Amino acid sequence: MGARLLGHALRSQVSAALKEGRVTPTELCQRCLALIKSTKFLNAYITVTEETALKQAEESEKRRKRGQPLGILDGIPIAVKDNFNTAGIETTCASNMLKGYISPYNATVVQKLLDQGAVLLGKTNLDEFAMGSGSTDGVFGPVRNPWSYSKQYKEKSVPKSHSEDEEYNWVITGGSSGGSAAAVSSFTCFAALGSDTGGSTRNPAAHCGVVGLKPTYGLISRHGLIPLVNSMDVPGILTRCVDDAAVLLGSLAGHDPKDSTTIQDDFKPFELPDLPDVSKLSIGIPKEYHAPGLSSEILSLWSKAADLFKNAGAKVVEVSLPHTRYSIVCYHVLCTAEVASNMARFDGLEYGHRSDVKDSTESMYAATRREGFNDVVRGRILSGNYFLLKQNYEKYFVKAQKVRRLIANDFGKVFGSGVDILLTPTTLSDAVPYTEFIQEDNRTRSAQDDILTQAANMAGLPAINVPTALSERGLPVGLQFIGRSFQEKQLLTVAKWFEKQVQFPVIQLEEAERHDNGVFQHQKSASFS
């Protein structure tokens, strides 16, 4: 099968193609925009910035013609989750509260990407204010997992009439960065930004079969990322291979004077070795991550992965993170408390939705917030305020902060004992059909789905989902690696080694193939089999 242009890996292929002039930035941009149109049913994008994207592509082309590209990202189409501010472009957080809100500035990470010539295709869909684990609770509707329409999934589905199949069998992307994951997975862009507070980048990455990186807290600037939980949020990176994640990380990491929670250490962008070596490493398998409800398929894959490392000479040991089961409860309290504070800024006065109620300031605020927020957001604000009441502050908020320390200490002890990387599942199962997912409410779902990803946010550690294999239903399953703080190079090296071992299959999407047909004959892809 001839390698497809839009399915290319960023660093090893499409960037080279741009450099050598085998494809122009404008052509690339046009193809992506056309594919976005024909995959509109996925509902991955809230805003498509066609005009500005084409302009950016034109500028990139001029630069490349002059032999002065800004770097490896010059001309590369990317997408950004709609909770990052983008100057002159609507930023909604998939909420009525911010419908029509045009950001007056670029988030630092967006600015960095634009400064390097990346082409911004649009803003992707999410759960309202990034609260959720399905990308189903935004005002623009749910995002559909591109794998629902893949040959691999359709082949395994119980045969029904064709239209019924697609309408009722489609599976969720996971969340809350589902739009970004779907955008990367369906080839409409080469990389996308997400955010990760409890697993919001890694969860959809696992369900959509893409690489999802959560960097160490403090490595990448949060300036311009509309905050959910200030002490846990990080911008997330979604790409189709680990090398590309390293490229994005290199462009985004580093101290930002506008975000005082970014560390001041110098960050040196790195390239990963072509032939990573894991034989000198110690891989920890935390037993508590064998959580109730973990599917036997994933359990088996996890076990096989451990074997892979052992056979390669790595030391594989069972470890314990005893407070894992309290992580989700702790998160519940700290998250709702910080949310209650962060959502207080939405009062209708300076930006966003404003109610018509004029009787008093407070009634206007209350009506605005009633009209602007969905039940999930409102529920979290109320819970958060409860935990912050004077009579509850010590009992809940401070208590949760203490438990947080215990969770972080668990990791500290394990890494201190000589373990370099932890290997765990990312999700409990493969993606479920939308009709099944919505049977439970948002809070229950989040509590179930975040269980394997949440603790890394608690401790601020870097973690990455690597697509591993297809489930029996033909859907992606990923495994997670958690590393030591600020040791992304080691983490990504291990992830790259693992990626090479598992050779995760390429999605066979009819729409993508139609757009890419036979135009680009190229040597075999470096990262796909």
Partner 1 sequence: MRVLSLGRWLRAGRVPPREPASRPSGHRHSGHRPQGPPQELPQGPSQVPPQKVSVEVLEHLEHLALVDFRDSEGVERLQKAIQFADQLHEVNTDGVEPMDSVLEDRCLYLREDDVTEGNCTKELLENARETVEEYFVAPPGNIPLVKLEGQKTFLQGSK
Strand arrangement of the beta sheet that strand 191-196 belongs to: 45-48, 119-124, 77-81, 191-196, 234-239, 211-214, 463-470, 476-482, 421-425, 282-286, 315-319
Contact criterion met (CB below 8 Å) for 126 and 81: yes
> From the CB of 261, what's the least distance to partner 1, in Å?
7
Q: Which DSSP string corresponds to 175-189?
A: SSSHHHHHHHHTTS-
Binding mask 474-493 for partner 1 (x = CB under 8 A): -----------x--------
- Binding test (CB under 8 A) with partner 1, winner from 19, 26, 70, 101: 101
Q: Which stretch binds partner 1 (CB under 8 A): 12-20, 29-37, 73-81, 345-353?
A: 345-353
The residues in 4-23 that bind partner 1, with binding defined as CB under 8 A, are none
> From the CB of 180, what's the least distance to partner 1, in Å?
24
Largest CA distance in the chain: 72
66 binds partner 1 (CB under 8 A): no
Q: Which two tokens stand for residue 133?
A: 């684990």
The residues in 191-220 that bind partner 1, with binding defined as CB under 8 A, are 217-218
Distance CA 312, CA 501 (A): 11
By annotation, the residues acting in catalysis are: 81, 176, 200
- Token look-up 């911004």 returns 120
The residues in 140-179 that bind partner 1, with binding defined as CB under 8 A, are 156
- Binding test (CB under 8 A) with partner 1, winner from 55, 62, 160, 370: 370
> From the CB of 301, what's the least distance to partner 1, in Å?
10
Binding mask 420-459 for partner 1 (x = CB under 8 A): --------xxx----------x-xx--xx--x-------x
Angle at 171 between CA 166 and CA 173, to 5 degrees: 130
- Could you tell me the CA-to-CA distances from 447 to 197, 322, 328, 333, 387 in Å, in that order? 13, 18, 6, 12, 18
382 binds partner 1 (CB under 8 A): yes
Distance CA 174, CA 183 (A): 13
The residues in 261-280 that bind partner 1, with binding defined as CB under 8 A, are 261-264
> From the CB of 511, what's the least distance to partner 1, in Å?
26
Q: Which stretch binds partner 1 (CB under 8 A): 3-11, 77-85, 144-152, 300-308?
A: 300-308
306 binds partner 1 (CB under 8 A): yes
CA dihedral 422, 425, 426, 428 (to 10 degrees): -150
Q: Which stretch binds partner 1 (CB under 8 A): 9-17, 125-133, 162-170, 329-337?
A: 329-337
